Amino acid sequence: MDIRVLSIGTLSAHPLWNERTSVRTGHATTTLIRTGDATILVDPGLPDQVIAARLNERAGIGPDKVTHVFLTSFNPECRRGLGLFDHAPWLISEAERESIGVPLVQSLARIAQSIEEAKAAGEEAHEDQTAMLEMLQRDIQVLQRTTAAPDSIAPGVDLFPLPGVSAGMCGLLISEATRTTLISGDAVPTREHMDKAQVLGGAHDREQAMASLSEALEIADVLIPGRDNTLLVPSKQRF
């Protein structure tokens, strides 16, 4: 089993650094798992060219060697580089896929109706509406291309539901002989969130997010957070 962080993610604004507005471009931590015949890329949050470079720099492989892509959530900051892996299945938890699909379609219908009503009144659609329509259409195309992930993606690499920040957020639990590693996504975004037992603001269900954070820290020896580097869970540290 080979687990390595390809790119350390970051929050656009880190609330525990007293940042209240965006000061950088947010992107998810990207992780590569290689086991047997499977090469699994988790949360390609950077643009295509950057992800390709990271694969070469950190693992000595090209995008064509990736056999699966897994998204911990449908957050755009987790999937900027998806287009580089059109040859591989794009996996996401069934709960996340279902919770995102209906709101996307409903939002698309509302925007499309507003644009049609403006045209019927002899008015031009507002630029913001047109941009939103195009974004929603792209998101729906991406979601349609995803597949509900099986409970086990490869031997020793299993789904670990972590709902709360989003309705169907899901990590990957990687079991080895001497340790258990959890790729948590934004259920545990950074070291500071782990240390202070805090979840991201704006969570879909804060109480559920807190329960998921606690469960993540209880089960994992090693944690790969959504926006930080690999962490050793404090209660599992050996002195």
Confidence of residue 106 (pLDDT cuts 50, 70, 90): confident
- Going by the DSSP 8-state scheme, the letter that residue 228 receives in this structure is S
Q: Which pLDDT does position 125 carry in this prediction?
A: 63
The whole-angstrom distance between residue 67's C-alpha and the CA centroid of its chain comes to 18
Residue 109 pLDDT class (50, 70, 90 cuts): confident
* Residue with tokens 């934004």, as numbered in its chain: 186
**Residue of 143, 182, 188, 148 lying closest to 164 (CA atoms):** 188
pLDDT in tens, 215-230: 999 999 999 999 999 9
Measured distance CA(95)–CA(41) in Å, rounded: 20
Task: Considering only residues 125 and 232, tell me which one the structure prediction assigns the higher pLDDT.
Answer: 232
Cβ burial, residue 188 (10 Å; 0-12/13-18/19+): buried
Residues 6+ apart with CB under 8 A from 208: 163, 164
When mean pLDDT is compared across 42-46, 87-91, 139-143, 170-174, the lowest value belongs to 139-143
Q: What value does the mean pLDDT take over residues 181-188? A: 97
Longest dimension (CA), the chain: 73
CA distances from 130 to 114, 118, 135 (A): 10, 12, 9
Q: State the Cα–Cα distance between residues 237 and 121, nearest whole angstrom.
A: 66
Please, what is the angle between helix 94-120 and helix 127-145, to 10°? 150
Alpha-carbon distance of 136 to 229, in angstroms, equals 31
Helices (H), 9-67: 48-59
Is the pLDDT confidence value at 172 over 90?
yes
Residue 126: DSSP 8-state: P
Mind listing the pLDDT tens digit for each residue in 115-154? 776 677 666 666 777 788 888 889 999 999 999 999 999 9
Model pTM score: 0.91
Q: Show me where the domains of the chain are located.
A: 2-10+25-93+149-236, 95-143
Residue 239's pLDDT is: 37
CATH, range 2-10+25-93+149-236: 3.60.15.10
Asked if residue 12 lies in contact with residue 25, where contact means CB atoms within 8 angstroms, the answer is yes
